[in-house]
């Protein structure tokens, strides 16, 4: 069927396109304008037409997301006609789709829990999904590195884990930190040693960066640094960036590291101020690096992280006062409920720093909008955040309502920049799609998957982005006027990477010894999803 989305303001920064025009669709793909009469015309007059949004870092599935729901039943509660971003996978899919997002990635899939995570991802409707395989605290990898095995062996182990868990990429979370925590540590930095292995965090990071490059994984190594949320954490991010030595690297929820210590001699007691300018400058100097923001918004949430050392350290700030820290087979996980106090000094400063980072961005395609859902707050805050980026006046009103410290310790108030619609598309579409290596989305050029969001162009950008007028997934309308009209199921994107048979045999033996269960129990076979085709292969870089 040939479809024409007619007369909208078509915004595709990858094609330098921002003008009234048409978008043509056939067989689920965007095609060149046609001479044929369309079978269907969608009237987009008065609307903005963009590619579907792409989410790179949102905790929407996995054992710790499940635990957060069980720890905080009150947060995930369902109410009639009120989908909840902390609720079911069905609600998550609905709320993303309503905003015009059509792809979302869960960034923390431990290989030991891959099957459950993939089962859960498959139950998120409307979107294409993917998961990143977490490595960096697992005994088998640390043994390889400790024993100075070859880079090829590390590469083969990473490939095996990606293939077995059917992941889209690789993530490392405070490399070695969870292991150090199990041995009693409560602080851990890039050059600290994992006690039982005599390995520094830097060494683990280095091994994984090389492996991801050697395997030509499209998405760069996705890095959660040490010292998240602490004054002086900017040093951790910059040190890690330098440690990459030009290799591609993605920094997760960078806002939580953009905290310069006010008192350098006593960093943990003197409070923090924005390090957004320092990070923006570093990003400009390092074209190999990208980041997502982890914007803070206000209200009750649950922080979810496999960084159990950090979560344990933050336990006493739990609101309400209950929390989980599980020492799992590699990382495990920590759930610490938290309320970002509206107009609270610390929360307000965090809020300002996130906005400042995006507004100082040297390249919006490399500073992706996330809230690190639910860690900084729910992803449903995106429309309001975009509004503030696009509207200096609204931003000034917002900043004026917060404690003075937010303006005094950040540069937000002085920034005049207003994001254009095209920059919003870079921030939420083309940037994240490029970052994930998904060439078939994030743009509107012929050949792209017909994942398209059509918004009514209105001054109230919050309202505009909150409820898309139309959303198409693979060319089919799934949302009309903010309501789901077709409950499609999407696919789970997994990297087509081949595992080495020798490493598979070796790993099977290792797993049998450790778990009394071999590699087959760690697999995610198609048969686990009866009567459905769930996975779609994504090629490695050539």
Residues 107-166 contacting another protein, CB under 8 A: 112-113, 115-116, 119-120, 123, 139
Q: In whole angstroms, how close is the CB of 299 to another protein at the nearest point?
A: 6
Q: Which of residues 160-219 bind another protein (CB under 8 A)?
A: 179, 182-184, 195-196
H or E segment to which residue 208 belongs: helix 201-214
Which is closer to another protein, CB of 15 or CB of 70? 70
Interatomic CA distance for residues 386 and 455, integer angstroms? 13
Specify the residue, 122 or 258, whose C-beta has the smaller distance to another protein.
122
Angle between helix 276-285 and 345-359 (nearest 10): 30
Strands of 13-71 (E only): list them. 17-26, 29-31, 40-43, 47-51, 53-55
Partner residues linked to 51 by β-bridges: 452
Q: Please return the burial class of 326, using the count of CB atoms within 10 Å of its CB with bins 0-12, 13-18 and 19+.
A: middle
Q: In this structure, are residues 533 and 489 in contact, taking their beta carbons and an 8 Å threshold?
A: no
Toward another protein, which CB reaches closer, 16 or 525?
A: 525
Q: Which is nearer to another protein, 38 or 345 (CB)?
A: 345
Strands 452-456 and 47-51: antiparallel
Does 16 help bind another protein (rule: CB under 8 A)? no
Query: Looking at 86, 166, 253, 310, which residue binds another protein (CB under 8 A)?
Result: 86
Please identify, using beta-carbon distances, which residue of 16 and 73 lies nearer to another protein.
73
Query: Judged by CB under 8 A, which stretch of 241-249, 286-294, 405-413, 515-523 contacts another protein?
Result: 515-523
Question: Could you write out the three-class secondary structure of 333-352?
Answer: EEEEEEEECCCCHHHHHHHH
- Quickly tell me which residue has 């409307």 as its tokens: 126
Orientation angle between helical segments 114-122 and 63-71, nearest 10 degrees: 70
Contacting another protein (CB under 8 A), which of 15, 483, 537, 539?
A: 483
Return the number of the residue (85 or 432) whose C-beta is nearest another protein.
85
Q: Which of 264, 397, 505, 514 binds another protein (CB under 8 A)?
A: 514
Site for another protein in 360-419 (CB under 8 A): 377-378, 380-381, 384-385, 388, 398
- Judged by beta carbon, residue 424 or residue 448, the one nearer another protein is 424
Shortest gap between Cβ of 512 and another protein (angstroms)?
A: 11
By C-beta, is 223 or 302 nearer to another protein?
302
**Is 523 one of the binding residues for another protein (CB under 8 A)?**
yes
- Residues within window 58-77 making contact with another protein, judged by CB under 8 A: 61, 63, 65-67, 69-73, 76-77
Out of 52, 89, 136, 490, which residue is the one contacting another protein (CB under 8 A)? 89
Q: What is the DSSP string of 222-260?
A: EEE-SSTTSTTHHHHHHHHHHHTTTS-EEETTGGGG-EE
> Please, which of residues 20-49 interact with another protein by CB under 8 A?
none
The Cα–Cα gap between 160 and 162 comes to 5
CB atoms within 10 A of CB 268: 12
Q: Is 105 in the site for another protein (CB under 8 A)?
A: no
Nearer to another protein, 231 or 334 (CB): 334
Report yes or no: 350 and 372 within 8 Å, Cβ to Cβ.
no
The count of residues interacting with another protein (CB under 8 A) is 88
| CA angle, residues 507, 510, 514, in degrees to nearest 5 | 135
224 touching another protein, by CB under 8 A: no
From residue 336 to residue 365, the character string flagging contacts with another protein as x (rule: CB under 8 A) and all else as - is: ------x--------x--------------
Residue placing its CB nearer to another protein in the complex, 186 or 496: 186
User: Which residues between 443 and 472 bind another protein (CB under 8 A)?
Assistant: 466-467
Q: Which of 136, 332, 432, 442 binds another protein (CB under 8 A)?
A: 332
CB of 295 to another protein, least distance (A): 8
Residue 165: partners with Cβ closer than 8 Å, 6 or more residues away: 109, 111, 114, 117, 118, 131, 133, 522, 524
Q: Determine contact, residues 106/131, Cβ cutoff 8 Å.
A: yes
Which of positions 234-273 make contact with another protein (CB under 8 A)? none
Q: Distance between CA atoms of 225 and 32, rounded to whole angstroms?
A: 44
Instruction: Say if residues 351 and 364 touch (Cβ distance below 8 Å).
Output: no
Q: Which is nearer to another protein, 173 or 238 (CB)?
A: 173
Per the structure block, which two tokens stand in for 416?
A: 């005049």
The minimum distance between CB 146 and another protein, in angstroms, equals: 12
Using the rule CB under 8 A, give the single segment among 88-96, 258-266, 267-275, 285-293 that binds another protein. 88-96
Binding segment (CB under 8 A) for another protein, from list 1-9, 78-86, 208-216, 253-261: 78-86
Restricting to residues 272-331, which ones interact with another protein according to CB under 8 A? 297-299, 312, 318, 322-329
CB of 57 to another protein, least distance (A): 17
Q: Which is nearer to another protein, 24 or 197 (CB)?
A: 197
| Length, in residues, of the chain | 542
In the complex with another protein, which residue's Cβ is closer, 38 or 529? 529
The residue within the footprint of another protein, chosen from 19, 32, 36, 80 (CB under 8 A), is 80
Q: Is the dihedral of CA 484, 485, 491, 493 positive or negative?
A: negative
Among candidate residues 129, 119, 132, 164, the one with its CA nearest the CA of residue 529: 119
Q: 186 pairs with which residues across the strands?
A: none
């Amino acid at each position: 069927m040939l479809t024409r989305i007619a007369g909208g303001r078509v915004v595709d920064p990858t094609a330098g396109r921002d003008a009234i025009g048409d978008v043509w669709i056939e067989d689920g793909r965007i095609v060149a304008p046609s001479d044929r009469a369309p079978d269907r015309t969608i009237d987009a007059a008065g609307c903005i037409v963009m590619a579907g949004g792409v989410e790179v870092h949102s905790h929407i599935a996995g054992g710790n997301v499940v635990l957060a729901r069980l720890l905080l039943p009150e947060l995930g509660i369902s109410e009639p006609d009120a989908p909840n971003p902390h609720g079911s996978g069905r609600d998550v899919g609905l709320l993303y789709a309503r905003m015009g997002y059509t792809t979302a990635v869960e960034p923390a899939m431990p290989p030991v829990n891959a099957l459950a995570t993939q089962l859960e991802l498959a139950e998120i409707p409307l979107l294409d999904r993917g998961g990143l395989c977490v490595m960096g605290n697992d005994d088998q990898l640390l043994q390889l590195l400790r024993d100075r095995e070859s880079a090829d062996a590390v590469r083969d182990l990473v490939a095996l884990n990606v293939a077995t868990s059917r992941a889209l990429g690789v993530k490392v979370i405070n490399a070695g930190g969870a292991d150090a925590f199990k041995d009693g540590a409560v602080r851990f930095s890039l050059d600290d040693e994992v006690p039982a292995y005599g390995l520094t965090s830097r060494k683990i990071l280095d091994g994984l960066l090389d492996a991801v490059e050697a395997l030509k994984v499209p998405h760069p190594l996705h890095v959660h640094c040490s010292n998240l949320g602490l004054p002086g954490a900017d040093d951790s991010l910059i040190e890690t960036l330098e440690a990459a030595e030009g290799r591609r690297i993605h920094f997760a929820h960078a806002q939580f590291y953009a905290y310069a210590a006010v008192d350098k001699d006593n960093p943990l007691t003197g409070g923090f101020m924005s390090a957004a300018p320092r990070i923006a400058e570093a990003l400009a100097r390092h074209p190999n690096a990208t980041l997502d923001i982890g914007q803070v918004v206000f209200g009750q949430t649950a922080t979810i992280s496999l960084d159990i050392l950090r979560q344990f350290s933050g336990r006493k700030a739990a609101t309400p006062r209950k929390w989980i820290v599980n020492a799992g087979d590699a990382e495990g996980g920590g759930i610490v409920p938290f309320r970002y106090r509206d107009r609270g000094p610390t929360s307000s400063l965090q809020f300002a720093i996130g906005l400042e980072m995006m507004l100082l961005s040297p390249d919006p395609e490399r500073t992706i909008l996330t809230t690190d859902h639910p860690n900084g707050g729910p992803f449903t805050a995106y429309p309001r955040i975009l509004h503030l980026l696009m509207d200096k006046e609204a931003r000034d009103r917002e900043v004026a309502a917060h404690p003075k410290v937010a303006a005094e310790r950040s540069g937000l108030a002085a920034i005049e920049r207003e994001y254009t619609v095209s920059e919003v598309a870079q921030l939420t579409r083309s940037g994240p799609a490029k970052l994930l290596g998904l060439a078939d989305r994030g743009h509107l050029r012929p050949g792209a998957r017909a994942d398209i969001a059509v918004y009514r162009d209105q001054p109230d950008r919050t309202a505009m982005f909150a409820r898309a007028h139309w959303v198409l997934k693979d060319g089919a309308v799934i949302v009309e006027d903010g309501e789901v009209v077709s409950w499609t199921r999407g696919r789970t994107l997994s990297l087509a990477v081949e595992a080495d048979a020798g490493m598979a045999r070796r790993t099977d033996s290792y797993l049998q010894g450790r778990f009394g269960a071999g590699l087959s129990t760690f697999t995610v076979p198609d048969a686990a999803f009866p009567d459905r085709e769930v996975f779609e292969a994504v090629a490695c870089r050539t």
